[in-house]
Structure 1
Amino acid sequence: MAEETKGFVAACSICARGKSSHRAPAGLLRPLPVPHRPWSRIAVDFLTGPPPSDALETANLLVLQVFRLHGIPQDIALGASASLSSGYHPQTNGRTERAIQDLGSALRCLDTKHPVHETIRSRTELGEFHRLLQELRLDDDRLQRYLRLTPAQFDDLLARIGSRISRLDTNYRRSISASERLSIRLRYLATGDSYRTIANSFRVGITTVSSIVPNVATAIWDSLVEEFMAVPSTDEWRSIAGRFEERWNFPLCCVALDGKNVVIKAPAHLGSQFYNYKGTFSLVLLAVVDAEYCFRVIDVGGYGRTSDGGILANSAFGAALQSGILQLPADLPLPGADHRGPQPHVFVADEAIPSE
């Protein structure tokens, strides 16, 4: 009943007009005069909320950095007294009030109620990148076992993607270097550890790791895909077929392809799209490899419920294969079977992928 009465009175225009005011008059607005020299008139305001500061240190800074160079101010506009200035008189001291609000917003973001954990504060002294990794760089074999890359390969990859993964320093903190970001990603790939384990090792936040891992992976893919996993040309298809015949005694075979269900945790609100015939939730990795098991084309991210044939048909590679724009070599006769005439080049796969 009391809440309903309060709401009715607050919305009633007659009640508002009939209510008596118990506040003192605000007074006339008196803008500050235009100063005739630097620091002749200064504005001071008080910011509430952040932890207490050292008033003596603030006073010493004013004396050494302002009063010593420019003299004592003729006038000081204070925001503490409503008779001089307040946040409700922007014409009097609005610039200071606005600056104090912006400063307060920035300081609240760095409030000690949410401090940086002590382990993260010591990242540059005790973090895995700044201690262990720098020692491993003195031993090529140990670094390769640690990151799966030699120092030369690491430096080459960093030179390729460094500009893509670098971040700018701010007034509040220094950014994590591109070299450390790449190390976090490579260590995650090399071990498969959880984000929490990687974060504890490198002394960074878990959310930081969860941001670095996909961002660096995207940068690596975008930077290297055209050079290391471009769709083969006609000459490359012919060379791959030659290697299949030489190594596996399988003539006119360009590639082998198959799909792999990668088990994942069931995503929320997606029903049975990722549920596969094995009774688990998964993504599908469809890989096209040459005679040396090297990836030539991949398609990652297909729903687990989709068959390998469906993944291939829906992929860009499958569409190019169906439309005949893969630049496959011309038909050739099989060795020792010239009487059968020219035969097309083939892909080898299991029964999950249709032969049409």
Structure 2
Amino acid sequence: MNSRKRKLIQNCLATVANGFVTEVAEAIDDEVNKQRKEWMREWLKRRNTHGASALLLGELALEDELEYKMCLRMTPAKFEELLNMVHDKIERQDTFMRDAIKPRVKDDWNTVAEGFKEHWNFPNCCGAVDGKHILIKASANYGSKYYNYKGQHSVVLMAVVDHKYCFSYINVGFKGSNSDGGVFQNCAIYEALENNLLPDGLFLVGDDVFPLKMYLMKPYSGYRRHLTVNEQVFNYRLSRARRISENAFGILVSRFRVFERHLAVQLTTVNKVVNAACSL
């Protein structure tokens, strides 16, 4: 093979190789561009509990109105007044992609507390927290994770109920093998409560399975000692307030008879059914 022919072959191979490399590079770029970009940064998902509005402005409004005014150039009262005037026009709706940033109205908690005081003679209570097992039809691959203490398969509905038997907060989807207390401590509302979600002096009520906190009251335990008269009266009134959650679950089942039997649908559908029923 003469040198001219050899050089021609080398040039052809180089051209083919360059074309192949270019195609591969373009294919890689296309795949990278097709990858879904991050919808929301992780730290932004924690804004409701760790953001400046939840922490800094909340503390300044309570403890240092002068610094609050220097930050926003207005007093807390003026900010709330302006927010109430415009929030209907700027309010966004929650979607499956992300939660909207909504105005936080502490008056709502105070209204519920007044309701508990008036109807159930238990002041400063702004909700009853409790869990309910939603029965599901077990699939072969569920194992024992959804097997609850009653010997049935279920997912846990954790809810906070107001004085009118309405659901203020719900979380559904935890496996039935978890206890109510364990589910509560893994819900988003637990972290929010730990970061002073409720106004000062207000609290939720629950039964013995929940932890005793500044924001969560539970009955006195008479396991190792006799309760005093005052403690018995306190337990009686707390139990009256706490039973609101049990009654709300009863109303839910009575209105939507599908919960009287095992739900024979996929777990994602179970969550949608429960969320829809509680909303209605």
Provide TM-score, normalisation by structure 2.
0.39
The structure that is helix-richer by fraction is 2
Structure with the bigger RCO (C-alpha within 8 Å, sep 6+) is 2
Provide TM-score, normalisation by structure 1.
0.31
